């Protein structure tokens, strides 16, 4: 009987530890919120640096997904507060958003044309005639195991627009290049 009681106490302690760990882990909705924040930040950086079309596209994205973006951001703040407490959670939330902005800027600096092209493709997919929900749209943004926003769960959302691209780009051959590649070399 004592062994059975000990086993029950161990199971109860294990269940309590699992429950406490679950309170520290991001839910699927919260992971989606991190993904949405990542995409939103990169599109904002593109709006600030890639020209008038990128700015118009970002404004259309914000307008189209506004209510979902606000709910998502509230979920993100709530997660940080739940995991780290109210004051530390606010600070961690702000740090997370600041780091997203910094990472987006670094990506743009190191490949401006590719960054701007990717932003255009992502917005085009987001604003397609059959507009997806925000959660569905950002679900392709990779989540990497690393020291990240929620250390107890080892979750970090990779800062990238690639996961949100729904369009496969198939380059069209340049007729002039094709013709010059097949032409025999000129004889001097």
pLDDT in tens, 156-167: 555 555 555 544
Q: Is the pLDDT of residue 7 over 50?
A: no
Could you give the percent of the chain with pLDDT greater than 90? 46
Q: In 3-state terms, what secondary structure has residue 159?
A: coil
Segment among 92-96, 113-117, 118-122, 161-165 with least mean pLDDT: 161-165
Three-class SS of residue 140?
coil
pLDDT at 164: 58
For residue 143, the surrounding DSSP H or E stretch is strand 143-150
pTM of model > 0.95:
no
Residue 19 backbone zone (phi > 0: left; psi -120 to 50: alpha; other: beta): alpha
Q: What is the mean pLDDT of residues 165-178?
A: 46
Give domain limits for the chain: 27-166
With 0-12 / 13-18 / 19 or more C-beta atoms within 10 angstroms meaning exposed / middle / buried, residue 93 is buried
| Nearest residue to 155 via CA among 76, 91, 39, 90 | 76
- Terminal CA-CA length for the chain: 101
Is residue 44's pLDDT more than 70?
Answer: yes
Residue 123 — very low, low, confident or very high, per pLDDT cuts 50/70/90? very high
Check: CB of residue 41 under 8 Å from CB of residue 104.
Answer: yes
């Amino acid at each position: 009987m004592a062994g059975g009681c000990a086993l029950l106490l161990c199971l109860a302690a294990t269940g309590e530890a699992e429950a406490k760990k679950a309170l520290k882990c991001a839910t699927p909705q919260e992971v989606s919120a991190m993904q949405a924040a990542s995409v939103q930040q990169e599109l904002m950086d593109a709006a600030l640096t890639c020209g008038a079309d990128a700015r118009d596209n970002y404004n259309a994205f914000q307008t189209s997904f506004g209510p979902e973006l606000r709910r998502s951001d509230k979920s993100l703040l709530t997660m940080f507060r739940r995991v780290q407490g109210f004051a530390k959670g606010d600070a961690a939330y702000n740090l997370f958003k600041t780091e997203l902005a910094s990472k987006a800027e670094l990506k743009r600096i190191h490949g401006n044309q590719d960054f701007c092209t990717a932003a255009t493709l992502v917005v085009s997919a987001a604003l397609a005639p059959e507009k997806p929900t925000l959660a569905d749209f950002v679900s392709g943004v990779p989540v990497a195991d690393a020291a990240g926003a929620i250390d107890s769960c080892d979750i970090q959302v990779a800062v990238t627009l690639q996961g949100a691209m729904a369009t496969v780009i198939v380059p069209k051959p340049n007729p002039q290049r094709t013709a010059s590649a097949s032409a025999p070399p000129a004889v001097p």
